[in-house]
Amino acid sequence: MKNTDKLSCITYLASPDTNAADVTAIAMLQQINSSYFLARRGYALGWIGLASEQQRLAVAEEKQAWHGSAAVFWPGILTEQLSRFTSELDTSYQLYLDVLDGASCADLVEAASYQPALNEKFNLVSCSYDESDLQQVERLDFEPVTQASSDEVDTEVWMKASWLSHEDDDASMRFRFSFGLDGHEDVAADPYRQTLTSQLAQILFPESKIITDNAGLAKNLQQLLEVDAIEFVERIIYFNSPDGGAQFHQDVERGHLGVIFAQMSGRTAWLALSKKQLIQEILTFLARQDAKSLLPTALGKKHQTQLFKYANDPAYINTWLDQRDNDALDMFINQTPAFTQQLVTNGYAYVLHPGDVLLLPQQGMDDCAWHSVFCLDEEPGEALSFAMKKRDVL
């Protein structure tokens, strides 16, 4: 489902080369007070405007969107509770700033603010730097103080601090909690360690409780996801910084129903839609008479030819999106202002303020929400991104 019916409040105001004065004039004509520049890591995609307050869809429409693997937006659902976590958010922001300044995460988490909770439950067993991974800042391995019943059981879990890109001027960073060999582990196969990672994340970023210990939110989620209880796993704490964010991607993981993304501070803009919708939008764009002239110049002739070769082949686009070596398609969906304009106009854009939540369903590789994130502020902002899975109620 597109959000055009009730959320038509976001408009594409102007192309990225439009100067600020002209954007202001265009916005005034449309009675729009807030305009934002969408840019990420050296390429700009245009100006968008927020005409009015974003609204929630009706429950039936939300369910239709969720089951169709489209994003569901809950503006302001956490706003009231945010004030209860001011000090936790300040501590986490300071942690991010200190890591940015070159401090060691290992030293920082030994600090008083995380004690005694951390030492009561976990031992820090090692701290490492992977020089082959240019995005990784530091990895901390922990094991629980109380071991599992068998010594054979692997109980180590980790927190990794990583950059979101290789760009020097993008200070976007994430703190991710998981275990095992990154990218190769079937995390769903080890619910014990999944739970441990969640406990560790909760101790180091206690503002997580705004999602995990929130009866009102739980009720809303249970109703939408149609499950009795939800466990929040594979947790990531993001600090999206100016010019940073994330390119189009999905977060599919076996056993997970989707991801909840909650903005804690700062603002982000999103393009979010189901994979099927994205494929349809790609085909629609490439069918335009003027499509070629609207592609970014960075997309050379070879890539353009490749792109148009599959312009009538949704099955190939579906597979192509999942491939790592897909530069032509990747550059097109991420760096084409006119394609961004089309997505915004067709109702797939969201602006998240502190307290807003965006839900990203995932049923499988072909049925999942694809999303792209932009930072809208001069300062980094924090967000929580947790995978959701059905919790078995005993």
Q: Interface with Fe ion by CB under 5 A: which residues?
A: 251
User: Between residues 270 and 332, which has the closer beta carbon with respect to Fe ion?
Assistant: 270
User: Between residues 13 and 269, which has the closer beta carbon with respect to Fe ion?
Assistant: 269
Task: Label each residue of the chain as H, E or C.
Answer: CCCCCCCCCEEEEECCCCCHHHHHHHHHHCCCCEEEEEEECCEEEEEEEECCCCCCCCHHHHHHHHHCCCCEEECCCCHHHHHHHHHHHHHHHHHHHHHHCCCCHHHHHCCHHHCCHHHHHEEEEEEECCCCCCCEEEEEEEEECCCCCCCCCCCCEEEEEEECCCCCCCCCEEEEEECCCCCCCCHHHCHHHHHHHHHHHHHHCHHHHHHHCCHHHHHHHHHHHCCCCEEEEEEEEEEECCCCEEEEECCCCCCCCEEEEEECCCCEEEEEEEHHHHHHHHHHHHCCCCHHHHCCCCCCHHHHHHHHHCCCCHHHHHHHHHCCCCHHHHHHHHHCHHHHHHHHHCCCEEEECCCCEEEEEEEECCEEEEEEEEECCCCCEEEEEEEEEECCCC
User: Between residues 251 and 382, which has the closer beta carbon with respect to Fe ion?
Assistant: 251
CB of 362 to Fe ion, least distance (A): 10
User: Between residues 251 and 330, which has the closer beta carbon with respect to Fe ion?
Assistant: 251
The residue with its CB nearest to Fe ion is 251
Distance, in Å, from the CA atom of 259 to the CA atom of 225, rounded to the nearest integer, reads 11
Structure tokens at 56: 């929630």
CB of 249 to Fe ion, least distance (A): 6
CB of 105 to Fe ion, least distance (A): 22
CB of 25 to Fe ion, least distance (A): 35
User: Between residues 88 and 253, which has the closer beta carbon with respect to Fe ion?
Assistant: 253
CB of 131 to Fe ion, least distance (A): 26
CB of 252 to Fe ion, least distance (A): 10
CB of 384 to Fe ion, least distance (A): 12
User: Between residues 113 and 363, which has the closer beta carbon with respect to Fe ion?
Assistant: 363
User: Between residues 69 and 155, which has the closer beta carbon with respect to Fe ion?
Assistant: 69
CB of 360 to Fe ion, least distance (A): 7
User: Between residues 251 and 281, which has the closer beta carbon with respect to Fe ion?
Assistant: 251
User: Between residues 32 and 71, which has the closer beta carbon with respect to Fe ion?
Assistant: 71
Asked if 389 contacts 259 with a C-beta cutoff of 8 angstroms, the reply is no
CB of 161 to Fe ion, least distance (A): 18
Q: Which residues pair with 370 in a beta bridge?
A: 273
